[in-house]
Structure 1
Amino acid sequence: MKLIQFTVFVLFVVVTSCTLDKTDYEAELVTETTEYIEYEEVTAIVSENYTIRIEALNGTLYKGYNEIHLKINNSQTNESLDNSEVTFLPIITDANGNKSSCPHAYNLVYNDNEGYYTGYAVFTSESDSTVHWEIYIDITDNGEVTTVNPAITIAEQNNLNLNMTAFTGNDGEHYFIALVAPQSPSVSQNDLLAGIYKYNKPTSNAGTFPDASQYSYSVVKNHTLLLDPRMPEPSMGNHSSPNNQDLTQESDGLYYGVVNYTMTGNWTLNFILKNENDDIIKGTEVSTEFTPGIEGEKGELHIDILF
């Protein structure tokens, strides 16, 4: 009996997807995604003592999650600077001169095998005529501190599979969820990776700018991100898919789960974020009712993707 019901459902989806008006969704379905695997130079900064090369995927910093590599050479000897203390602080300035930051790894870690310092930044806005970004990099070598603060450009993230969201939780804290992978999903079960971060409210007055204590963020630990993927366009009836897995944290700090995309198109990833005590930080359940012809309901915490 269940097999018959499922078959009828699939046939209904196929028929309605060909007959119902898809409004703006149709134009979006021509979008193609490119998977970047090569780290390339974003910019190079030459100071009196060092040459610093910032690298990222595709040589571009995007709104959302970015893994970042720094290669630092001594300008006098051209030798690589390894295992020194290197800090990384992104600062955005808005049209009114207000300054803020974004989730980031402040203390970079040296990778001995690859010869670079590694970290990440979740840029919350792309660059435009009203805002600009800078990075403050401090290098401590033999007790001497060198500071550089290059301006950078943050590009729009056209790949919605790497979308992000920011929100205030039920606990009053400010959170960020950024999708990390897959860049280019397939019609199958896909490993889903996300970073979850929180702004650390300052506990003291600001010191000399840029005071890192005023722009501190941390990785959210031991939470669970419940997942409910849906196809929201009217012809799809907001149906979900089987065999999805909620996201839980692994040793690298990222959250891992599984999302099963049963066809290409527009999907909404509805989430419920719970802390280690199983309290809901943010998110609401989505109705399981099949609603052909009606744009699908979305939970209060969600990210839209497209492939």
Structure 2
Amino acid sequence: MRFFNFLAAAFAFAAVSCTLDKTDYEAEIGLEVPESYEFKEAVSLNTGNFKISIDALNGTFYKGYNELHLRILNTQTNQNITDSEVTFLPVMTNSDESKTSCPHQYAMKFDAAGKYFSGYSVFTSESVAGSSWKLYLSFTADNQKYEITKDISVAKQDNKNLNMTAFTGKDGEQYYIALVAPQKPKVAENALTAGIYKYNKPTTTAGTFPDPSQFSYSEVTGYTLKLDPRMPEPSMGNHSSPNNKDLTQQNDGLYHGVVNYTMTGNWTLNMILTNQNGLIVKGTVVPTDFTPGIEGVKSELYIDTLF
């Protein structure tokens, strides 16, 4: 009962808040949330008698999490290659000519049902002037290894429900959290999915470029992502919602939980990441005070969403 009285107060304040100055939050209200559920070819490349095509949602590579489907076609026999060792390495060349990568699945796995090699890439930045992304691919066919490269473009992710964040943890490691689902939440309890990754610091001297040991990332294993969703805009008083569930890792390697959105609008997913021993890697507790007229306090680890 206390929560519903609290929520009613938030709604009442929102009704009389029209005298407040316009904010960035208000400017976003009413924006259409884009959805992409169809996989289309995002890039294709050829080497010898083979055509390699990579499908992504909406046929676009976006900043954040990208599920990838890769097919290899023998153009002479018109048959897809199904038995191959396929590697995938995205590398960004920065304006200072330094090279970086992003969380990705280096050794792609064949999906017999879909008849493609599956993987993912969490692009950490969109393509901008002065920096560029390039894919380094390899595969085997007829006992021969093929290597091929391709420049690609990474687009801005306009759906804030698929936002990501990168940070250095208290352990000194570099982490990445990327939202995977839902693309378009409902006013309800929503299954929330995220990928959590860590950069593997090289332990050996770099070999011939591109040496995958210098661009290695892994899924974080056995952590917990504690969740506290809030509506941070001043008119909402930073109120929360009941029945949320912290995210834990499941068999698919991703982290799954529940976020309860009680109304549409701007929400902040405040988070605390803890390791296998329960120690905090990043994040702070958010005050529970109802603060109408004041922008809500956020955890030091958070991701903003909008629907």
TM-score (norm 2): 0.96
Q: Give, in angstroms, the shift of residue 212 of structure 1.
A: 0.3
Conserved in 2, the CA contact under 8 Å of 1:22 and 1:233?
A: no
Conserved in 2, the CA contact under 8 Å of 1:48 and 1:75?
A: no
- Residue identity matched to 2:240: S
Conserved in 2, the CA contact under 8 Å of 1:161 and 1:183?
A: yes
CA distance in structure 1 between the partners assigned to 2:120 and 2:83 by the alignment: 18
Conserved in 2, the CA contact under 8 Å of 1:225 and 1:272?
A: yes
Residues 292/113 of structure 1: CA separation in 2 closer, same or farther (3 Å cut)? same
Residue deviations 1:216-241 (CA, integer Å, cap 9, x gap):
00000110000000111100011111
Conserved in 2, the CA contact under 8 Å of 1:22 and 1:234?
A: no
Residue 194 in structure 1 maps to residue 187 in structure 2: no
CA distance in structure 2 between the partners assigned to 1:43 and 1:286 by the alignment: 43
- Residue identity matched to 1:149: T
CA distance in structure 1 between the partners assigned to 2:201 and 2:57 by the alignment: 31
CA distance in structure 2 between the partners assigned to 1:234 and 1:7 by the alignment: 14
CA distance in structure 2 between the partners assigned to 1:4 and 1:198 by the alignment: 39
CA distance in structure 1 between the partners assigned to 2:222 and 2:37 by the alignment: 29
Q: Give, in angstroms, the shift of residue 78 of structure 1.
A: 1.8
Q: How does 1:282-301 map to 2 (within 5 A)?
A: 282-301=282-301
TM-score (norm 1): 0.96
Residue in 1 that maps onto 2:185: 185
Q: How does 1:154-193 map to 2 (within 5 A)?
A: 154-193=154-193
Q: Give, in angstroms, the shift of residue 186 of structure 1.
A: 1.1
- Residue identity matched to 2:73: N
Conserved in 2, the CA contact under 8 Å of 1:190 and 1:259?
A: yes
Unpaired stretches in structure 2, ≥5 consecutive residues: none
Q: Give, in angstroms, the shift of residue 8 of structure 1.
A: 5.2
CA distance in structure 1 between the partners assigned to 2:182 and 2:260 by the alignment: 12
Q: Give, in angstroms, the shift of residue 17 of structure 1.
A: 4.5
Residues 255/21 of structure 1: CA separation in 2 closer, same or farther (3 Å cut)? same
CA distance in structure 2 between the partners assigned to 1:95 and 1:4 by the alignment: 52
CA distance in structure 1 between the partners assigned to 2:207 and 2:77 by the alignment: 35
Q: Give, in angstroms, the shift of residue 5 of structure 1.
A: 4.0
Q: CA RMSD in A?
A: 1.5
Residue in 1 that maps onto 2:257: 257
- Residue identity matched to 1:48: G
Secondary structure in 2 aligned to 1:9? helix
More deviation in 26-35 or 15-24? 15-24
- Tell me the matched-pair count: 307
Residue deviations 1:153-197 (CA, integer Å, cap 9, x gap):
100001110000000000000000000001011111111000000
CA distance in structure 1 between the partners assigned to 2:297 and 2:245 by the alignment: 21
Residue in 1 that maps onto 2:34: 34
Residue deviations 1:51-99 (CA, integer Å, cap 9, x gap):
0011000000000000001010113222110021000000000111111
CA distance in structure 1 between the partners assigned to 2:191 and 2:112 by the alignment: 28
Secondary structure in 1 aligned to 2:80? coil
Residue in 1 that maps onto 2:87: 87
Residue deviations 1:227-256 (CA, integer Å, cap 9, x gap):
000111100011111111100110000000
Q: Give, in angstroms, the shift of residue 37 of structure 1.
A: 1.1
Q: Give, in angstroms, the shift of residue 115 of structure 1.
A: 1.1
Residue in 1 that maps onto 2:226: 226
Q: Give, in angstroms, the shift of residue 215 of structure 1.
A: 0.3
Residue in 2 that maps onto 1:149: 149
Residue in 2 that maps onto 1:217: 217
Residues 131/66 of structure 1: CA separation in 2 closer, same or farther (3 Å cut)? same
Residues 3/96 of structure 1: CA separation in 2 closer, same or farther (3 Å cut)? closer
Secondary structure in 2 aligned to 1:108? strand
CA distance in structure 2 between the partners assigned to 1:222 and 1:101 by the alignment: 24
Q: Give, in angstroms, the shift of residue 13 of structure 1.
A: 3.9
Secondary structure in 2 aligned to 1:149? strand
Residue in 2 that maps onto 1:281: 281
Residue in 1 that maps onto 2:246: 246
CA distance in structure 1 between the partners assigned to 2:215 and 2:4 by the alignment: 57
- Residue identity matched to 1:159: N
4+ runs deviating over 3 angstroms: 1-8, 10-22
